[in-house]
Structure 1
Amino acid sequence: MKVLITGSAGFIGSTLALRLLERGDTVIGIDNHNDYYDPKLKEDRLARFADHPDYTHLRLDLADREGIKTCFETYKPQRVVNLAAQAGVRYSIENPLAYIDSNIVGFAHILEGCRHNDVEHLVYASSSSVYGANTMMPFSVHHNIDHPLSLYAASKKSNELMAHTYSHLYNLPTTGLRFFTVYGPWGRPDMALFKFTRAMLAGEKIPVFNYGKHRRDFTYVDDIVEGVIRVLDQPARSNPAWSGANPDAGTSLAPWRVYNIGNNSPVELMDYIAALEKALGKKAEMEMLPLQPGDVPDTYADVSDLVEQFDYKPATPVEQGIANFVTWYRNYFNL
């Protein structure tokens, strides 16, 4: 297939691009290489496959309407994976307009590109943060998500609503994937595992929010990418049993679906830190702090729809995933 990946120099996007190229697909990658974190890491991720004969890279911002339009018209992708977004719950509290530009305006440009160029399937990144104030565990795509706690979460819910409109009006198959705390090699420096590892190796205290009482459905990046590929290969279909009198939040009469991708096994934050201590061979000094604004205490994914429809379930234990990250981190920084 010819696949367009936005955010192709990002954590998940670069891993996905590598996998698709390995299986013989043609990949067009878009990334704006912004400085939300060190752009060198993005360049180094990209260097793993930038010279591949079936890869084309465009330094382009999703907010560039004409640039995105030209990209679709020039390369005519059959399928699209939209992973580019302004990430981070906490940064959305400081700089909310960055999320409007990238996650909402930019996503509208992707939808328009798909609509006008006969794209067979759009798969896009949503987030576990859409569950917001919902405390019913495990989180299910069939639950209500009307109470987001950050603009980042609201922007991801907006993506799901926008996609539904395009699926309904233009018969564009769209699938949203709600990612649950992705971690692993080549990860983002603003995420806990990267920050904790850096601080512990430097002999600094690590900030432990909610006094360590978080539970997270940590999901290894290779498991995430496997799920993305399985979903990408099967365009979203209508649910003929859907009823407006008793609407199911996870399906539609339109070719629109949403799925959770998580490990389906939440881990206490203190156990996550213990696994990192073991991998580093070093004890953590901790600063215990209250819950941060915009954060939720627990995440836990119900992935039964993904298991039933795609025969897929994440398989990497947290201890192994963290050990893999630490090995990569030491090699990458020559430690």
Structure 2
Amino acid sequence: MSEKIELENKTVLLTGAAGFIGTNLALELLKSYQAIHIIGIDNLNDYYDVSIKDWRLAEIEKCAKEHPESSWTFIKGSIADKALIDKIFEEYKPDIVVNLAAQAGVRYSITNPDVYIESNLIGFYNLLEACRHSYDNGAKGVEHLVYASSSSVYGSNKKVPYSTDDRVDNPVSLYAATKKSNELMAHAYSKLYNIPSTGLRFFTVYGPAGRPDMAYFGFTNKLLKGETIQIFNYGNCKRDFTYVDDIVEGVKRVIQVPPEKKNGEDGLPVPPYKVYNIGNNQPENLLDFVDIFQQELIRAKVLPEDYDFEAHKELVPMQPGDVPITYADTSALEADFGFKPSTSLRDGLRKFAEWYKVFYQV
């Protein structure tokens, strides 16, 4: 690992800034560092309820006002717009780039492949090119590119827990294929242009103001309407649920320590490139998850105490593009950054249920 980057007075380009992880990261950086400058970009697409994205951006605005020594600039636009990305790099000269902009969701990629190619491949390529040219004419350029990968790259791997040493050549969705492509593209650019890059494979992130397409959020919406929730693979699914604050803490630590630039025996750069799993390292059975969740929804008064869950639960087979278990081996993250998620499932779901009650005025 190389020298730690002190984030004071640094400019951070944060893509996907109105997204679930992006917003929480922006808030954490504004609260943690004096004089940090965050340039947020997001296309605010309508893949899910835009009012949640608006609410998140309002939270960042509020936080930025409380920390006037720092600055927050929001740009509405797409990372697939090369001219816009080049203009942002020219104008703001970011020291650090955190790419969280991506079309998310496994199932959506089966019916809407175009947006995945645009955002996850073309958008990421535009950022890599901009990072590469940030060093032109001897400029200091980007010190660290951190980007979101996904646990979905492990596809139908049978070996658990998933380790970053495992081969990941069998994606079961286009979404997974685009994320694996990001890792390959970053490796090539790290090797060719000595760009320090770190990929983070996120495992099932949840929490307040999360993505409505995620199971826990969708379950809540359906139960409130008296609809039936479907539990896939007859409940024999395990997910490495990771609370958003834990993810953000991990990302914050990773940002500050780029992989070291060094030359190999051939005198050429060894790619300053790393990939880490960032998950909870303890998968939860889906039925146990639903059980804790229903208790917390009742506790937060989102649902009435006498709600009949059994009547609204249906066990169904697995769906295309899904995997039966996600389980992160996070030993490398622990070894390099001394970091391990600590939020229990109950605490995390409680915070979500309380937020949901207030946001939707249940």
Which residue in 1 is equivalent to 2:285?
268
SS in structure 2 at match of 1:178: strand
2:316 alignment partner AA = L
Which residue in 2 is equivalent to 1:113?
130
Which residue in 1 is equivalent to 2:335?
308
Q: Give the CA deviation at 1:287.
A: 1.7
Q: Give the CA deviation at 1:241.
A: 9.5
SS in structure 2 at match of 1:122: strand
1:55 alignment partner AA = W
Which residue in 1 is equivalent to 2:301?
none
Which residue in 1 is equivalent to 2:137?
none
SS in structure 2 at match of 1:30: strand
SS in structure 1 at match of 2:60: coil
Query: With structure 2 as the length reference, what TM-score do the two structures score?
Result: 0.88
Query: Equivalent of 1:147, from 170, 180, 183?
Result: 170
Query: With structure 1 as the length reference, what TM-score do the two structures score?
Result: 0.95
Spell out, residue by residue over 1:245-265, the C-alpha distance to the aligned partner (whole angstroms, 9 max, x if none): xxxxxxx93100000000000
1:37 alignment partner AA = Y
Distance 2:109 2:263 in 1: 38
Which residue in 2 is equivalent to 1:17?
26
Which residue in 1 is equivalent to 2:15?
6
Which residue in 2 is equivalent to 1:41?
52
Evaluate the alpha carbon distance shift between residue 147 and residue 238 of structure 1 in structure 2; reply closer, same or farther with a 3 A threshold: farther
Distance 1:305 1:241 in 2: 23
Distance 2:58 2:206 in 1: 20
Q: Give the CA deviation at 1:5.
A: 0.4
Q: Give the CA deviation at 1:240.
A: 8.4
Q: Give the CA deviation at 1:38.
A: 1.2
Q: Give the CA deviation at 1:334.
A: 1.0
Decide whether the 8 Å contact of 2:194 with 2:261 is kept in 1.
no
Superposed, 1:291-306 pairs within 5 Å as 291-306=318-333
Distance 2:130 2:209 in 1: 29
Spell out, residue by residue over 1:70-124, the C-alpha distance to the aligned partner (whole angstroms, 9 max, x if none): 0111011100100000000000000111100000000000111111111000000
Distance 2:262 2:361 in 1: 51
Q: Structure 2: 5+ residue runs without aligned partners?
A: 1-9, 135-140, 299-306
Q: Give the CA deviation at 1:329.
A: 0.4
Distance 2:151 2:174 in 1: 13
Which residue in 2 is equivalent to 1:126?
149
Q: Give the CA deviation at 1:200.
A: 1.7
Superposed, 1:246-265 pairs within 5 Å as 253-265=270-282
Q: Does 1:185 align with 2:194?
A: no
Superposed, 1:1-335 pairs within 5 Å as 1-24=10-33, 25-50=36-61, 52=64, 53=68, 54-117=71-134, 118-237=141-260, 253-281=270-298, 282-284=307-309, 285-335=312-362
Decide whether the 8 Å contact of 1:220 with 1:316 is kept in 2.
yes
Question: Based on CA coordinates, which of the two structures has the bigger radius of gyration?
Answer: 2
SS in structure 2 at match of 1:48: helix
SS in structure 2 at match of 1:50: helix
Spell out, residue by residue over 1:158-192, the C-alpha distance to the aligned partner (whole angstroms, 9 max, x if none): 00000001100000000000000000011001100
Q: Give the CA deviation at 1:283.
A: 4.6
1:273 alignment partner AA = V
Q: CA RMSD in A?
A: 1.5
Distance 1:196 1:82 in 2: 29
SS in structure 1 at match of 2:260: coil
Distance 1:201 1:283 in 2: 12
Decide whether the 8 Å contact of 2:146 with 2:197 is kept in 1.
yes
SS in structure 2 at match of 1:134: coil
SS in structure 2 at match of 1:9: coil
SS in structure 1 at match of 2:271: coil
2:349 alignment partner AA = I
Distance 1:165 1:30 in 2: 25
* Number of corresponding residues: 326
Distance 1:145 1:55 in 2: 37
Report percent identity of matched pairs.
Answer: 56
SS in structure 2 at match of 1:58: strand
Which residue in 2 is equivalent to 1:249?
none
Q: Give the CA deviation at 1:50.
A: 2.3
Distance 2:72 2:40 in 1: 7
2:131 alignment partner AA = C
